[in-house]
A and B are shown apart, each in its own frame.
Chain A
Amino acid sequence: MTGPGGGRSLADRQAALVAALVAGAPIPDGFDPRLVGTARRALLRKRSGEVARHWPVLAASFGARWPAVFAEWGDGRPTQGSFQDGLALARSLALTGAAAEELAEREKALRPRTRLSRLLRRAR
């Protein structure tokens, strides 16, 4: 005889649910696939808004298509934080104009830190 959840621990069941929502894992047994799919899309919509706050020019360059563009990229990719998500998406696109400039500026701002971490690595 098994208890609720077929004897699996709450921790395992929570992990399986989050993996289904953000990492493309199968929906755990017993959940309504339609509603979990709705939640997955709602999470992507929310993430697209948060990434847009960090990457306003990138988001604006897609106009009303931004949530769909982000969702296509972000579905199945767990968030690494809104800034990093926007950076990874921007790097994957062939950007032009203001969005390309926004990416170039961010890349430039990141560079000193990269140089520093290289120095620190060498010092170890």
Chain B
Amino acid sequence: MTGGGAEGSFGVGIGWRPEIAGFVAALPGLRFTEVIAESVPASGPVPAPLAALREAGTAVVPHGVRLSLGGAEPVDPARVAHLAAAARQLGAPLVSEHIAFVRAGGLEAGHLLPLPRSREAVDAVVANVARTQAELPVPIALEPIAAIFDWPDDELDEAAFLTEILDRTGALLLLDIANVYANARNRGTEPTDLLDRLPLDRVAYVHVAGGAEHDGIYHDTHTDAVPREVLDLVGELCARHRPPALMLERDGDYPAAATLRAELDAIAAASGYPVVT
């Protein structure tokens, strides 16, 4: 993400959600936040709390969750138009979406689902990202997801799959470090191996979130505390190439303000950015 402060960086942020609007508004050092794109009205006034943040100079990034860029079918033009409108409404420096699909055959999955790491899937994502970029007023950053299962016939490993999509679309990378942790833990691989192979200079910003184990699998829930291992991985990432922005992503079971502040401070400590609390 560019256009920030002295070093062109935004430092530590937090995902804006209505339930924690008061907490977010009161953070003295906040320079960027993210809002679920589908929740932003396409026309009419920007919701007051977001307008106030914009007024105070905080960048607001629309984060789409239902575009289904990885769907085999072309993206819905109405959803693309809405994402573009949200970016304009908020004067956003960029937007973001996932490398995933969320519906198929007329059914909504209700969550982000992984793609087969195949050439055919790369082509589908690249075509949908191109259709989206054609309508967007700003760059898009693509976020790899946490996958509970893999497809049986992967042709590419994760680094090759992601790098090919980024190269062919020219998109930025929204790296979710908790997803890197979750996937490595569940697949029994080393998370730093992926960090060593991704184009870290393309990272626009980073998600940091908590999770929990169910059924012997680590789930990236966004409703639990950020584990120490994820914060350590923030340190590993920043030692390789410090991203311009990192944000805490919390989507429910909101803890006390003091707990959120401590998590933001821990991200600041792990990345070396100033505290925003």
Contacts and interface: CB of A to CB of B under 8 A. Distances in A.
A18 interface: yes
A14 B103 CA distance: 8
Contact of A31 (B151, B216, B252): B151
Contacts of B160: none
Contacts of A38: 148-149, 214-217
A111 B107 CA distance: 28
A89 interface: no
Interface residues of A, number: 34
Interface string B135-162: 0000000000000111111010000000
A22 B109 CA distance: 6
Given A5-B153, A18-B103, A31-B152, A42 B116 contact: no
B149 A19 contact: no
A40 B27 CA distance: 37
A123 interface: no
Interface in A76-93: 78-79
A39 B149 contact: yes
A36 interface: yes
Contacts, number: 92
A31 B154 CA distance: 11
Interface string A16-44: 11110111000001111001101101110
Nearest to A28: B152
Interface string B91-115: 0000000000101111111110100
Nearest to B222: A46
B101 A14 contact: yes
Given A10-B72, A49-B252, A35 B110 contact: no
A18 B152 contact: no
B105 A15 contact: yes
A15 B106 CA distance: 8
A15 B104 contact: yes
Nearest to B19: A53
Given A10-B120, A10-B121, A13-B116, A30 B110 contact: no
B104 A35 contact: no
A39 B110 contact: no
B104 A11 contact: yes
22 contacts: A4-B118, A10-B120, A10-B124, A11-B71, A11-B73, A15-B107, A18-B104, A18-B108, A18-B113, A19-B107, A21-B113, A22-B110, A38-B214, A38-B216, A41-B214, A42-B111, A42-B148, A42-B214, A42-B219, A43-B109, A50-B110, A79-B108
5 tightest A-B CB contacts, nearest first:
A15-B105, A30-B152, A11-B72, A35-B149, A14-B104
